[in-house]
Structure 1
Amino acid sequence: MIELRDLTKRYGPKTAVDGLSFTVRPGTVTGFLGPNGAGKSTTMRMVLGLDAPTRGDVRIEGKYYTELKEPLHSIGALLEAKGVHGGRSAYNHLLCLAQSNGIPERRVGEVLEMVGLEGVARKRPKGFSLGMGQRLGIAGALLGDPRILMFDEPVNGLDPEGIHWIRTLMQRLAREGRTVFVSSHLMSEMAQTAEHLVVIGQGKLLADTSMAQFIAENSRTHVRVRTPEPERMRDVLTAEGLRPATGADGALEVDGAEAPRIGELAAAHRLVLHELSTQRASLEEAFMRLTAQSVEYHGHAPGDGDMPAPGQPPGPAGGPAPGTGTGPGEATGPAQGPPGGGQPPPAWGQDWRRRGGGR
């Protein structure tokens, strides 16, 4: 079990983690979600004593990480797949970890076989792909057969077989009664792996709940109804106190009633149904809705309101482009050419290309 109490971390004026309190319990896979910059990696580093909290504390089975005599027996972690000595072989990298924690050498071969790296055990990891590096990091986490496992983005770089393998592994470890704490940006994968979620945004706790409850509380669930007599169906639903909406394709969308009840109403009024289905949001949709105000870095696709239209000069949405505004030192009206008329200066890069730099 991992327990966080009022955990806070500041870097100068920036608060990376802000008063987090939650418990990661054994017997379940707990997903750790949040936008980029939310404080997930910083939180995990504080669990392992790599960063010192500004305030609050975090304990592993009731102890601080620094109090664990042989920590790999209590908690195994993957935070950075490439955090290995590139000059040592994969086998010797794990052997060093094992010897520092009183783990017998035979365990090195066992975990290498478990993660599928026995064939490259004597090779140096500096030549490994990202996926192979992830597998080596997972082997290190499993080395002490710990009661707690913590993974930061463990599926990065893995192929579909590898993703299925790590998902199955985490679920099996949880069924054995271990504590499994995993962060990921892959919502579809998290939806298949985790049973419980902890969600943070801008360092603050936003949710600590089951997967099913999180989706139910942060999304809209409705029943979709298609019938050749939509107006009659609408009248029947309205008479029951429901307020059906019309979807883009003409189907009715009904909130506040379960599909079996709507089917019974249709049958009672001899209405033919072509579709009767419950529409539930995905984890990604629920996550996006909850964290919309906590995203620190926003990207924009062409056509967004604050992006210039094709052929238009860049500038703030609804405002003047650079060189055409009314700020200090700027000209008003259309963009001005060079003094005395003539041709405007070449676009950025054109002069460099003329001199042969673009070859």
Structure 2
Amino acid sequence: MIELDGLTKRFGTKTAVDHLTFSVRPGIITGFLGPNGAGKTTTMRMVLGLDNPTSGSVLIDGKRYDQLKDPLTYIGALLDAKAMHGGRSAYNHLLCLAQSNGIPKARVTEVLDTVGLTAVARKKAKGFSLGMGQRLGIAGALLGDPRILMFDEPVNGLDPEGIHWIRNLMKSLAAAGRTVFVSSHLMSEMALTADHLVVIGQGRLLADTSMADFIRNNSRSYVRLRSPQRERLLDVLHEAGITVVETGSGALEVDGGSAEQLGELAASHHLTLHELSPQQASLEEAFMRLTAESVEYHAHSDPHRTLEPGQAAEPHRAAEPHQAAAPESQPWGSSWQQKNRKGA
């Protein structure tokens, strides 16, 4: 389990993470969502001890990351697919990690096979595509057979087969009782993968709830009806005290009633229905609605937009401070990596 309690991180005058408190539980996949600049990566870096909190705490199975002996056997993480020595082969990259964490050498071959990189195990990582780098990073996360897995944008660069593979891998890990914490901007993929959601905006917690409750609480759900006896159906619905929204397409939209109840009501009045369909917003629509006030980086839809006289252009905004501060940080966060960065 990962437990955050009042976790806060400031970079100068900027508060990147603002008193976050939540838990990531075993046995389910917890999705970590937020707009760009919301503080997701900073939060994950603090979990791994790569950034020190300004205040608050984060515990992994009851301990701080720096208190873990052989940390890869407790938590495996992928934060940056490029965080590896390009001159090392895939095999040697994983072997160095294994040796620094007391992991048997045989495990290297096992995880290379798991992620589908056996055929290129002796090739140098600098020649890998983004998708191959992602697979190697995932192999590193799995290396210590940890109880906790943490992934930041794990499907980035993967082809459809790879996306399907990592989705099923995360589900199997959660089904085995492991803790799986995953951040992604791909809402359609998150909707297929996550059971629970933690959503932040501008460093603050916005939601900590199940996927179903998140969509239900942050979107409009309704039932769409279509009938050749439209006017009679309208009368029946109004007589029952049901509020109806008429659309330009001829369909009727009903809030606050179930499809079953409306179907039975129409049948009791011998009305023919050509459509009776419950409608619910997608995860993306619910997310956009909840985070509308927390978006820090706004784009303009009109590429030819011109400024009004006297109107200043919006200044270019830099990325989160931690991204510039530690571009070469490894996802496992060990001091060993810092001492051996230039090893073969």
- What TM-score comes out, normalization by structure 2 length? 0.89
Q: CA distance change for structure 1 residues 298 and 322 in 2, over 3 Å: closer, same or farther?
A: closer
Q: Deviations over 1:31-74 (max 9, x none)?
A: 00000000000000000000000010100000000000100000
Aligned partner of 2:229 in structure 1 is 229
Quote the offset at 1:89 in angstroms.
0.4
Q: Which residue of 1 aligns with 2:288?
A: 288
Residue type of the partner of 2:223? V
Counterpart residue type for residue 166 of structure 2: I
Q: Describe how 1:1-40 pairs up with structure 2 within 5 A.
A: 1-40=1-40
> Aligned residue for 1:163?
163
Letter in 1 for 2:307: G
Could you say which residue in structure 1 is the equivalent of 2:277?
277
Aligned match of 2:51: 51
Which residue does 2:200 correspond to in 1? 200
**2-side partners of 1:269 and 1:279: how far apart?**
24
**Is 2:101 the counterpart of 1:101?**
yes
Larger RCO (CA under 8 A, 6+ residues apart)? 2
Q: Do residues 315 (structure 1) and 293 (structure 2) align?
A: no
Aligned equivalents of 2:42, 2:160: Cα separation in 1: 28
Q: Deviations over 1:192-249 (max 9, x none)?
A: 1000000000000000000000000000110000011212111111111111001231
After the TM superposition, which of the residue ranges 136-145 and 228-237 deviates more from structure 2? 228-237
What percent identity do the matched residue pairs reach? 72
In structure 1, the residue corresponding to 2:167 is in which secondary structure? Answer: helix
Structure 1's 231 and 3: CA in aligned 2 closer, same or farther, altered over 3 A?
same
CA distance in 2, matches of 1:322, 1:170: 49
Within the alignment, does 1:66 sit opposite 2:58 as a pair? no
Amino acid corresponding to residue 77 of structure 1 in structure 2: A
User: How far apart are the structure 1 equivalents of 2:248 and 2:278?
Assistant: 17
- What is the CA deviation profile of residues 307-357 of structure 1, one whole-angstrom value per residue up to 9, with x for unaligned ones? 63xxxxx214xxx3779xxxxxxxxxxxxxxxxxxxxxxxxxxxxxxxxxx
Gaps of 5+ in 1: 309-313, 324-359
Q: Normalization by structure 1: what TM-score?
A: 0.85
Superposed, 1:206-225 pairs within 5 Å as 206-225=206-225
Letter in 2 for 1:27: G
Specify the alignment match of 2:265 in structure 1: 265
Q: Secondary structure at the match of 1:293?
A: coil
Give the corresponding residue for 2:117.
Answer: 117
Runs of 4+ in 1 over 4 A off after TM superposition: none
C-alpha separation between the residues in 2 aligned to 1:247 and 1:3? 47
**1:177 alignment partner in structure 2:** 177
- Where 2:3 maps in the other structure, the secondary structure is strand
- Structure 2 unaligned regions, length at least 5: 313-344
User: Structure 1 residue 271: deviation in Å?
Assistant: 1.1
The separation in 2 between residues aligned to 1:198 and 1:38, in whole angstroms, is 12
Q: Deviations over 1:108-156 (max 9, x none)?
A: 0000000000000000111100000000000000000000000000000
Distance 1:160 1:282 in 2: 21
**d(CA) in 2 for partners of 1:315 and 1:161?**
45
* One-letter amino acid matched to 1:190: M
| Residue equivalent to 1:331 | none
Q: How many residues align?
A: 312
Determine the C-alpha separation between the residues in 1 that align with 2:6 and 2:261: 46
Query: For residues 160 and 248 of structure 1, what CA distance do their matches in structure 2 show?
Result: 38
How far apart, CA to CA, are the structure 1 residues paired with 2:107 and 2:80?
A: 22
Provide the C-alpha distance between the structure 2 equivalents of 1:232 and 1:321, rounded to a whole number of angstroms: 58
Letter in 2 for 1:44: M
1:302 is displaced (CA, Å) by 2.0
CA RMSD of aligned residues (A): 1.2
Give the secondary structure class of the aligned counterpart of 2:284.
Answer: helix
Is the radius of gyration larger for structure 1 or structure 2?
Answer: 1
* 2: CA distance, partners of 1:75 / 1:248: 54
What is aligned with 2:84?
84
